Amino acid sequence: MNNRKSFQATLLASGLLASSLVFLPLASAAGKKPLAGYDTLVVEAFSVAPTQATLGFSPRQAAEIRQDAIDRLLGERLFAEVIDAADPPALGARPEARPAEGARRLVLSGTVTKFSKGSRAKRYLVGFGAGASAVKVLFVFRDEASGEVVYRTERQGKYYGTVSIFGGESREAATEAAGDVVDGLIKDVKKNR
pLDDT in tens, 64-93: 999 999 999 999 999 999 999 976 555 555
Judge whether residue 141 has pLDDT over 50: yes
Indicate if 100 and 43 belong to the same structural domain. yes
Nearest one of 38, 72, 18 to 186, comparing CA atoms: 72
Specify the higher pLDDT residue, 94 or 181: 181
Indicate if 146 and 60 belong to the same structural domain. yes
Residue 176 has what DSSP assignment?
H
Q: In the structure, what pLDDT confidence band is assigned to residue 176 with cuts at 50, 70 and 90?
A: confident
Indicate if 86 and 157 belong to the same structural domain. yes
Q: In the structure, what pLDDT confidence band is assigned to residue 118 with cuts at 50, 70 and 90?
A: low
Q: In the structure, what pLDDT confidence band is assigned to residue 29 with cuts at 50, 70 and 90?
A: very low
Q: How far apart are CA 177 and CA 68, in angstroms?
A: 12
Q: In the structure, what pLDDT confidence band is assigned to residue 133 with cuts at 50, 70 and 90?
A: confident
Q: Which helix (H) or strand (E) holds 74?
A: helix 59-76
Judge whether residue 129 has pLDDT over 60: no
* C-alpha torsion angle, residues 173, 179, 184, 185 (rounded to 10): 130
Instruction: With 0.75 as the threshold, say if the pTM is over it.
Output: no
Judge whether residue 107 has pLDDT over 90: yes
Average pLDDT over all residues of the chain: 74
Indicate if 59 and 147 belong to the same structural domain. yes
Domain that holds residue 116: 38-191
Cis ω for the linkage preceding 34 (within 30 of 0) = no
Indicate if 49 and 20 belong to the same structural domain. no
Split into its structural domains, the chain has a count of 2
**Count of CB atoms within 10 A of residue 192's CB?**
15
